[in-house]
Structure 1
């Protein structure tokens, strides 16, 4: 399905307005990296303009971006590019890639001689000019015909050496970016100098490359994608006859960092079927990459194919950009609300003008903490960049300061706890009610008795509230010392009380992973609780470890490890009460794991990422999704939530939907719940 359908332009007035919107947005994008339009909206308007002009050729205006190199009437600069820096046409799905390949073959009158594919890096295009191996000039893309001289930045761009490994005269073209690490470093530097933080890496790279007169320097990176002879090269045919792959290899040999040096690398492929596999692989890794990419560039690799295909006024016909669905969009903050979480921490949330991001309508985003609001200088009414990567909760990257109108209002920070009205501890960046977990004890207890934690059926919200109000439950450990009289008073029923008491007794035998999850340790959930429990085996081992020990668990870094230790110290009295009440404190291991001399069977899912989708049937019919994930991990696998090239197995229940279709298209093994139960049953016993 096309991820960026064209904007519908009903008449010439709408067409002219769209042209102006694109022109202004392109001027901002190629000027300082900011824009009132996100990439997806820009692409929609561009396609709408092209479709309107195709249907009404007589209405086309001279300012139309469809015939301009940089997709907009953008001011360039004083430096004329010897060879125009063309744009790329966009496609948005595999069908579009196939149509482009068919059109290329038809234009050539033969099949292309191979393709070069690599990541489309989301940065600012530049041309770097070397004379006798020395970097002498750095120029932005500008409008594609002329660019701005930014040679003052020479020496500040990692990956673009001042001196090449060979004394050649050449033009290197690449993308200037800030990696994730550099972006964080840049905002720390900005904060030290009292300046607002950058909203996103692309804008930060564009602004920093052009900036002069600052008291500080922002580190930048460059990833080159092609090599041309320099305007003063003695032999303008120095690189003639080389394939695009060979040019990228030559750049690497000269000491320049290239797109091939990204974690996903580049490929030289025979056909577009292989290119589609590479695209799927890159898409699956996108969120984990240390720099921003928004697609994959597919190019005819051989120079004869490039020559014969030619180029239009705006884009080459032998190359195309496969654009991924946008994970960032711009929208407005309408309001900010405050709540207090189960552990007592204040949780601000932004209400947004609804926006579609990667197929999901986003109307709210987390703001994490008052410190984040202050650091980003967020205001109600701000136009903000919102990011949604993978399955994580949407969050605000930062405000688009250039679009402020003066009507934005400061976000009011609470004076008292939103839940209980009590005092707030402001000592840390994340504010907390002074009562901590006791602020909203009922919520903590409701969470602990849930199906994926202690699973104490019968203890609904009203009964929990009554137990808390009566003083019968002051923490979750008190659940296991409740008397019959206390429960009868809370439920009003002796029959229900007997059932609940039986369920409480059964809950004492839950595995450590569920007990740990029931504690509500900040920074952990069901998956992380399982990982911690399986790594350490006992609650005592967890409590006795240090930050280095915790970091041995997948997904725990230094900051999270320190936070977990602080949480465990705070919860130590509750953990002791649970142990005294006879609640299990160990995690079951693989069959026979307690007997070192026994022949332990190999885990059937060892090293495999397994995704479960749809309604489970057969032996798994009564299991929650979390319980199914527990089975996966006990059988040696890793429970996943989305299907990608790295998925090893899909368990497809009834109404499996798109995940099953995607798994089948990727050649991933798909099994029914019954088949899965048979796979792991003998191992788990």
Structure 2
């Protein structure tokens, strides 16, 4: 955009004004062009963070130099005001929302609303801010008759032909109601994958971003195929005007319309701003797992009385606000594409990027997933690419700005042979794999097996592994248990004492629980947390190896694709597992030698709720006798789910020595806490086979 410095600032209170009127005018034109492309086109010119930053600088300039203010400034326009209008006049203006970016700004908004009302708001709703296109849909006698875009806020474009196919927007309601529904048309992650597959089949360039894909699809009524769209409603006109907003949205559900209340995070009803902030944080935490784009949270006064009293400006309602999250999509330059070979032999194309910041984190590489995906997304070295990073998910390249592609660029050529060993490549699956499998990645697999979070073999470092593999003494983890001190002492730099220590460290690892062994084996799609869940659910390696695909899907977080992958990897690993068992490696999880009445669950799971679901537990600070990872393992063994952050959905916070701000947050949110000493005692009691409950340790 106009100034690189703008990219780092999104708070209008901190944004710097432009130094000259000319720079201000240029910024307005570029912001208007970006907004027009966002609302009217199927291409995104800049990422959200850059647009918000430039808009903040425009606002700061107008505050510092009011006489510079241009008539067409985007700061005074309805969201989407830069877009073209249409032939359909809205029954009332489709206003946008003002934005805040931090807790203090949200509190200031709530204080202003309270001042307008002369009292605290009677209640708030919090729901996801869908990254889609706002539309209005009219129903007559229960039948869908017309759909229009927001347009310029006053009039919109007729998109009935394409939008009526959106999932969640029925052709007929369950009753013969005559109403107007407003909501967002968007693409879920699954929609986006299907849409791009269709584009590729028709020799069309793939979409770079779900938002641009939805925009392009909404206006493409003459294509030879129908890309999928989805819809969530957030408002309705024509029902009982005295209904709270939350009740009106719930009523839409009974009519067969999908709403933000039925989305993954749902709609939270809050009594005060503290509850609102907790709901916003919970939504931010869940953002990466929703399966559709969310760029913030929307907070609205719930009662009609509050909304009528607060009123609206010409741009936005005063009773609603959008809390924008840090952008999860940015643009940068693709500098190169490398192929990495994992410890299981899987080949993954990885993008090397010009550094780009996500919430203060510098990102220089991102996954391209697999080679089919790389071709479908049509990215090349030198492209300006969109990079997505939601929550703690590994950054991914989602597409390129094709209109900025350098002349002379060439498609990436996948390797003909494994880059590590030169072996053949199995291309039968989406994720290509060296036919050598784990043998190709033996060195990496052995190193991972020995790490602290896996089998924790003290003394088995990289240099020693290099010697053992180089001398042919070790080719897989089972070989480690055949080593003896005398043989090791013959190696360079190995004395008798150090040899004995290493053999003792290897022997000690035999006693690690099943969850650690599953982690150490590097089963695809089963990291540490999933390994703990598998171990807790099945209890023994024998039961896990005998599990069917359906049995695996009974484990929390295991869907059909993950179940198939885990089952295939376990089948491949069975000979190694048998060799490990022959050498005395533990194949059980503590606590599962005391089965409950159904023979599957442990006799006591104090961190399970009455309905059987796991409690969400955060361990902060030091727990006596346990490392941080062992503390999380203990939570899983006690029936809970370990989490790293405190939110309104947290059930318990274990507080140890050195605990920090998480304790204050738990207290502010009313989340129960437990001293680490009592948590350790709870674990000891369960390990000893005593029937225990959580309450006796919370109060004892």
Which TM-score applies when normalising by structure 2?
A: 0.87
Matched with 2:583 is 581
1:8 aligns with 2:23: no
Matched with 1:387 is 388
Offset at residue 378 of structure 1 (A)? 1.8
Note if contact 2:208-2:386 (Cα within 8 Å) is conserved in structure 1: yes
1:41 aligns with 2:50: yes
Matched with 1:90 is 99
Which of residues 70, 75, 82 is equivalent to 1:61? 70
Offset at residue 416 of structure 1 (A)? 3.2
Aligned partners of 2:331 and 2:153: how far apart in 1? 26
Matched with 2:697 is none
Offset at residue 84 of structure 1 (A)? 2.3
Matched with 1:119 is 128
Which of residues 630, 635, 639 is equivalent to 1:636? 639
Matched with 1:645 is 648
SS where residue 545 of structure 2 aligns?
Answer: helix
SS where residue 437 of structure 1 aligns?
Answer: coil
Q: What aligned pairs does 1:139-538 form with structure 2 within 5 A after superposition? A: 139-153=148-162, 155-164=164-173, 169-228=178-237, 244-245=245-246, 247-248=248-249, 251-252=252-253, 255-266=256-267, 271-404=272-405, 406=407, 408-490=409-491, 491-538=493-540
Q: Deviations over 1:515-552 (max 9, x none)?
A: 23222222222222222223223222222222222222
Offset at residue 350 of structure 1 (A)? 1.1
Offset at residue 11 of structure 1 (A)? 1.1
Note if contact 1:297-1:320 (Cα within 8 Å) is conserved in structure 2: yes
Aligned partners of 2:582 and 2:33: how far apart in 1? 69
Aligned partners of 1:43 and 1:196: how far apart in 2? 28
Aligned partners of 1:551 and 1:133: how far apart in 2? 40
Q: Deviations over 1:112-132 (max 9, x none)?
A: 454444332221011223445
Aligned partners of 1:22 and 1:286: how far apart in 2? 27
Q: 1:109 to 1:347 in 2, by over 3 A?
A: same
SS where residue 625 of structure 2 aligns?
Answer: helix
Aligned partners of 1:543 and 1:125: how far apart in 2? 49
Note if contact 1:591-1:684 (Cα within 8 Å) is conserved in structure 2: no
Matched with 2:665 is 662
Offset at residue 618 of structure 1 (A)? 4.2
Q: 1:406 to 1:81 in 2, by over 3 A?
A: farther
Q: 1:627 to 1:164 in 2, by over 3 A?
A: closer
Note if contact 1:381-1:409 (Cα within 8 Å) is conserved in structure 2: no
Aligned partners of 2:172 and 2:457: how far apart in 1? 69
Aligned partners of 2:241 and 2:605: how far apart in 1? 56
Aligned partners of 1:441 and 1:169: how far apart in 2? 66
Offset at residue 4 of structure 1 (A)? 3.4
Aligned partners of 1:658 and 1:403: how far apart in 2? 45
1:619 aligns with 2:620: no
Q: Which moved more, 1:178-187 or 1:200-209?
A: 178-187
Q: Which runs of 5+ in 1 are unaligned?
A: 230-237
Q: 1:224 to 1:583 in 2, by over 3 A?
A: closer
Q: Deviations over 1:375-433 (max 9, x none)?
A: 22221233333222333222223334455454654223223322234443333322222
Offset at residue 57 of structure 1 (A)? 0.3
SS where residue 586 of structure 2 aligns?
Answer: coil
Q: 1:240 to 1:665 in 2, by over 3 A?
A: closer
Aligned partners of 1:463 and 1:554: how far apart in 2? 38
Note if contact 1:22-1:72 (Cα within 8 Å) is conserved in structure 2: no
SS where residue 322 of structure 1 aligns?
Answer: strand
Q: Which moved more, 1:555-564 or 1:416-425?
A: 416-425
Q: Which runs of 5+ in 2 are unaligned?
A: 1-7, 609-613, 689-700
Offset at residue 356 of structure 1 (A)? 2.7
1:32 aligns with 2:35: no
Matched with 1:234 is none
SS where residue 481 of structure 1 aligns?
Answer: coil
Q: 1:530 to 1:195 in 2, by over 3 A?
A: same
Note if contact 1:126-1:139 (Cα within 8 Å) is conserved in structure 2: yes
Note if contact 2:536-2:636 (Cα within 8 Å) is conserved in structure 1: no
Matched with 2:4 is none
Matched with 2:559 is 557
Q: Deviations over 1:444-466 (max 9, x none)?
A: 21221222333222222111111
Q: Which moved more, 1:448-457 or 1:100-109?
A: 100-109
Offset at residue 611 of structure 1 (A)? 2.1
Aligned partners of 1:267 and 1:628: how far apart in 2? 31
Aligned partners of 1:570 and 1:683: how far apart in 2? 34
Matched with 1:683 is 686
Q: CA RMSD in A?
A: 3.1
Offset at residue 481 of structure 1 (A)? 0.9
Offset at residue 109 of structure 1 (A)? 4.7
Aligned partners of 1:207 and 1:499: how far apart in 2? 65
Q: 1:298 to 1:501 in 2, by over 3 A?
A: closer
Q: 1:371 to 1:656 in 2, by over 3 A?
A: farther
Aligned partners of 1:569 and 1:80: how far apart in 2? 62
Q: 1:45 to 1:459 in 2, by over 3 A?
A: same
Which TM-score applies when normalising by structure 1?
A: 0.89
SS where residue 481 of structure 2 aligns?
Answer: helix
Aligned partners of 2:423 and 2:254: how far apart in 1? 64
Matched with 1:22 is 31
Q: 1:305 to 1:521 in 2, by over 3 A?
A: closer
Note if contact 2:350-2:365 (Cα within 8 Å) is conserved in structure 1: yes
Aligned partners of 2:191 and 2:629: how far apart in 1? 37
Number of equivalences:
670
Aligned partners of 2:509 and 2:173: how far apart in 1? 68
